[in-house]
Chain A
């Protein structure tokens, strides 16, 4: 059944996958084309159409020109906010997750199973259960409406994922390796830097991609805990569509959407292969 001949059934298979591929690509193609059409052109016809002449100015406006609320600086400041939230939170939560995952998997200590079990509960607890407490905590420590506050939230909440990913990866490392190193006098961190970390690239790639896309795409905390100039780009996009509801500017908006989605799309295009491999390896086992 898995032959490469060109029977009619195979032509049908190609036809169906091509149709599906077109349906999955269509929204992206529509937005890219619209980002190159002028607002007037879109208003005269529909969102679906070929650009008559390429309006690159949409990108310039989207990046640093159009207005959200009273500020007219485009999405550049919000992109910067998202980067300043996502990069530290991803790096810190991944590093701490790797160390903690290594400790839980290979360096047994009292109560390790209990605390690991509680930490993984974080995968399931809805964000809505943590919204009010975070509001209070951020206010009390003076981090409400700051990027640092969001970094803190994403780092702590991200640990549930990073500890789980890393622990599941590290339990497969032979304990003898650790035991031998300990006999030779190596301590906790020496073993981590010298033995564990060099073996970790597959799981670190998965963890970094997961954390980066999730934190970059996160919306609820961003919109709840920040306002105005402190917002991440997801929250700014919603504010933008509200702002242009009266005078539609779909060309500029499309360009903004593309720019906002670009970092995670690029990460996925370059790292997606490793990500799927790691993801499916964990799920199929």
Chain B
């Protein structure tokens, strides 16, 4: 037994710490969401009161609407951008390595940096609008950052810039793994490039597309740093997102119970995305093993 002690320490202690913190932290946060905790955690039971309060708040409603719009627009546009870039890079063009590096580098940069830089570019006073004004076209307007109705789109722009390279990398790998014989067969049958892509190559990309969608949606649901640095939820609360609401309730308004309830709601939104994905993966695996 003593001889196996180092083994025990190196395998079991990290695994148990990791598993134990995940389970106990989740249960603890769920429990707090049902208590009347405000400044400090207290025991007690208030049923769904915290949930009702969060769901009824304007802050959460706007955050949820924003999440729907941001999630859908960001995922769709980054998919389209990523796929387009991947198809273009797949045409055996010169400088492919350099281009791939350029499209991927934003991934390495923190959302804080991305948010800060885009907040400058999109700021009408010092950014693109000011530049165009200085060039003499004074009627030009690009004030989305400070426009209540359009501000959420600035987050979409920055998020696409940051992570469409990820979609591109996965799609490109998918395009490259298509069997060359199938492509040749399609060409011998007289299919042009468009037809070959549409009928032969793109249908093989479904599994990758779903992976990309799930990863990007997961990012959209927990987006915090980018918004914090780009708009900080403003103007007003126009770009509020669930992750900001949780932080605000927990650490600025000292409403621990409600903050925990909002965090659990975020988890539920995430599960609504992940459970169908997990089910789909399960079916795929079973088909693969039976085939």
Contact = CB atoms under 8 A, between A and B. Distances in A.
B179 interface: no
Interface of B: 6-7, 10-11, 14-19, 21-26, 28-29, 32, 41, 85, 88-93, 99-114, 116-118, 120-121, 123, 126-128, 130-131, 134, 161, 165, 169-170, 172-174, 177, 187, 192-193, 196, 208, 211, 218, 221-222, 224-225, 228-229, 243, 246-247, 250-251, 256, 259-260, 262-264, 266-267, 270, 274
Interface residues of A, number: 87
A131 interface: yes
Interface of A: 1-4, 10, 13-14, 16-17, 20-21, 23-28, 30-31, 34, 42, 45-49, 96-97, 99-100, 103-104, 109, 115-116, 118-119, 121-122, 124-134, 136, 156-157, 159-160, 163, 188-189, 213, 216-220, 224, 234, 237-238, 241, 248, 250, 253, 257, 260-261, 264-265, 267-269, 272, 276, 279-281, 283-284
A237 B208 contact: no
Given A13-B91, A264-B108, A264-B110, A122 B18 contact: yes
A130 to B, nearest CB: 5
A124 B41 contact: no
B101 A272 contact: yes
Contact of B93 (A17, A157, A188): A17
A120 B120 CA distance: 38
B30 to A, nearest CB: 8
Contact of A118 (B19, B28, B111, B128): B19
Q: What 10 A-B pairs come out closest when comparing CB atoms?
A: A217-B110, A280-B173, A268-B108, A46-B130, A1-B193, A133-B25, A118-B19, A128-B263, A219-B225, A159-B18
Contact of A21 (B103, B106, B117, B250): B103
Contacts of B224: 127, 219-220
A72 to B, nearest CB: 20
Chain B, interface SS category: helix
B120 A47 contact: yes
A129 B26 contact: yes
